[in-house]
Amino acid sequence: MDIIAKLRDVSFDELHPNERLKVDSHYLYGTLEESLADRATGAVSDADTQLTKFHGFYQQDDRDLRDDRRHRKLEPLYSFMVRLRLPGGRVSPEQWLTLDDNARRYANGTLRITTRQTFQYHGVFKENLRRHLQALDKAMMDTIAACGDVNRNVICTANPHRSTIHRQVHDLAHEISAHLLPRTRAYHEIFLGEERVAGGPREAEDEVEPLYTRHYLPRKFKVALAIPPENDVDVFAHDVGFIADVQAGELKGFNVCIGGGMGMTHGEPATFPRLSDIVGYCTPDRVVAVAEAIMLVQRDNGNRHDRKQARLKYTVEALGVDGFRQEVEARLGEALSPARELTLTHNGDRLGWYQGEDGLWHYGLFVQNGRLADSDGGPQLMTGMREIAQAHDGDIVLTTNQNLIITQVSEARREVIDDLLDRYRMTVEATPLRRHAMACVAFPTCGLAMAESERYLPSLIDRLDAIMREAGLADDAIIVRMTGCPNGCARPYLAEIGFVGKTIGRYNLYLGGGFAGERLNKLYRENIDEATILEELTPLIRRYAVEREPGEAFGDFVVRTGIIAPTLAGREFHA
Ligand code: SRM
Ligand code: SF4
């Protein structure tokens, strides 16, 4: 039964309050016009705070200033985090200049590359939202569905200019994104000022939102495509994953994975990270249809009572992997083919110069935790990238590990790029540990942060680097990830060493993730401060240096030696 029929006779009182809100918003209009017009506050109405997400932005307030403003009897310093929809993470140099202008004019002067291959702005005040979105629109960019209970930014193995296969997979990411985009005109009418269709939003749900209906999805929905042997996208961490099958230089098809997700809540074992299951195989021409079928099974079967149980991973647990697959196949009108043997060997990004299939060069630039900013006496990443965008005619591509790639550089132009990278100190020496590390945003903008992440991880890495050096491992990579809360935005449960915030200055320490993103880690120590983190990790890193087998990754080592038990299924994460 589809969701319209299913919910026809259900009282909204039985469902999570967001379910009524979606329906009452009349396809995401809500009272956003009124909220934007209200000059008495920097905020939007409570209901609209949920709706802005579907349009790609979040109301936040500066948590560093919260107490001071409360004492001074001022309302919190409200502003918005604005996230772009950028399937595959590619922008032209002209688009980069708009992104840069907008950061300086309407936001806090920085750009943040996210773990889903797009940009976030922080600190956009309500009165600047429309101008900001209109400038993006002029440069052919939007923020539609970047957040909210819809299909999010579709990510894929980075750099479409690397090979024909990379281009084909990138194109598919665009196709999926376009196909699963909400159809409501709310974004265009409210924020871009386009003329309202007579009578406003129409009521017939199959006309306005043929895929979503007025109920939209129970929760966010995420799709990733990986090209083996790379697993830069952490393909098993998403609701849907497609793993490319390339034979003799030809894209033959994809293994289809369902049911991944990272988020959980401390102390609630019914919530857990989960890696997706490979359920079959499809040819490239069926990828969009398969993504749609999976989304519709989740639309109609996902939990609409409890948002903590509403992600597709829990629907897979409820229906069973086979049960979910059968539902998908019933919608597709065909069975998925048997999955192929495809091997993923590592995650992380390719950094520095490398050559593509067509002989052009690409430069993978390490951006610490994705934050593009000009720092005093340090890297001038905003100004440097602006200069590069002005001097360069190839695309700039974001990665899912918060880095970027300056693509399509001819041999003759490499020197120009190198000079600019040097002039703006953009290529600071970073150890393999730092280059592989990721942190989520957390304080001061994230309303859910329990501990620091982006602002703290760099100094913790300094200390871990010292331990690595002393152990003779200065040239080795261990995947370290940190988040300020258990929601998992930097995919910490896939790290070899994961830190998840508990409270200010204290973290849970997780060990044993797989180097190729194929195994979850497990809780090793709970609620520990920096001194204890270092005390716990020093002997393990020293042992690893001495006892590891040739080529053995740290995550595999701690599992093999029994330091931590492997997590073989999400539902056993807490066991
Ligand atoms: Fe996330 C919520 C930042 C990737 C799982 N995430 C948030 C919010 C919007 C906080 C909020 O709801 O108030 C954070 C905004 C912080 C800020 O100030 O900017 C936030 N998430 C991020 C980003 C920016 C982290 C980063 O450092 O790059 C990433 C933006 C991705 C994008 O461009 O779309 C980001 N978030 C992820 C990922 C990783 C991924 O998708 O590959 C995950 C884990 C995968 C997954 O979805 O399971 C993730 N974010 C969450 C969750 C937990 C969802 C769950 O199923 O439990 C929340 C909270 C929620 O949805 O209730 C959340
Ligand atoms: Fe915020 Fe938690 Fe996501 Fe970090 S993991 S950005 S603290 S929601």
147 is catalytic: no
CATH of domain 434-572: 3.30.413.10
Cα diameter, the chain: 73
Q: Report yes or no: 482 and 197 within 8 Å, Cβ to Cβ.
A: no
User: CB under 6 Å to ligand 2: residues?
Assistant: 440-442, 446, 448-449, 453, 483-485, 487-489
For residues 450 and 453, give the distance between their C-alpha atoms in angstroms, rounded to a whole number: 9
Separation of alpha carbons 558 and 541, rounded Å: 10
Q: Quickly tell me which residue has 């705070």 as its tokens.
A: 49
- What pLDDT does residue 288 have? 98
CA of 331 to the centre of ligand 1 (A): 30
3-332 against 434-572: fold identical: yes
Task: Express each pLDDT in 161-175 by its tens digit.
Answer: 999 999 999 999 999
- Three-state SS across 317-333? HHHCHHHHHHHHHHHHC
Q: Is 83 an annotated catalytic residue?
A: yes
Give the Å distance between the CA of 443 and the centre of ligand 2: 9
Give me the pLDDT at residue 197, please. Answer: 62
- Report the topology of domain 3-332: Sulfite Reductase Hemoprotein; domain 1 (3.30.413)
Beta-carbon contacts of 42 under 8 Å, excluding residues fewer than 6 positions away, are: 75, 77, 78, 79, 125, 126
- Active-site choice (152, 219, 313, 481): 152
Q: Kindly list the domain boundaries of the chain, sorted by start residue.
A: 3-332, 434-572
pLDDT value, residue 113: 98
pLDDT in tens, the chain (575 residues): 788 888 888 889 999 999 999 999 999 999 999 999 999 999 999 999 999 999 999 999 999 999 999 999 999 999 999 999 999 999 999 999 999 999 999 999 999 999 999 999 999 999 999 999 999 999 999 999 999 999 999 999 999 999 999 999 999 999 999 999 999 999 999 999 887 765 455 555 557 999 999 999 999 999 999 999 999 999 999 999 999 999 999 999 999 999 999 999 999 999 999 999 999 999 999 999 999 999 999 999 999 999 999 999 999 999 999 999 999 999 999 999 999 999 999 999 999 999 999 999 999 999 999 999 999 888 999 999 999 999 999 999 999 999 999 999 999 999 999 999 999 999 978 999 999 999 999 999 999 999 999 999 999 999 999 999 999 999 999 999 999 999 999 999 999 999 999 999 999 999 999 999 999 999 999 999 999 999 999 999 999 999 999 999 999 999 999 999 999 999 999 99
Active site residue 156: no
Residues with CB under 6 A from ligand 1: 58, 60, 81, 83, 114-116, 118, 120, 152-153, 222, 237, 261-263, 311, 370, 440-441, 445-448, 487-491
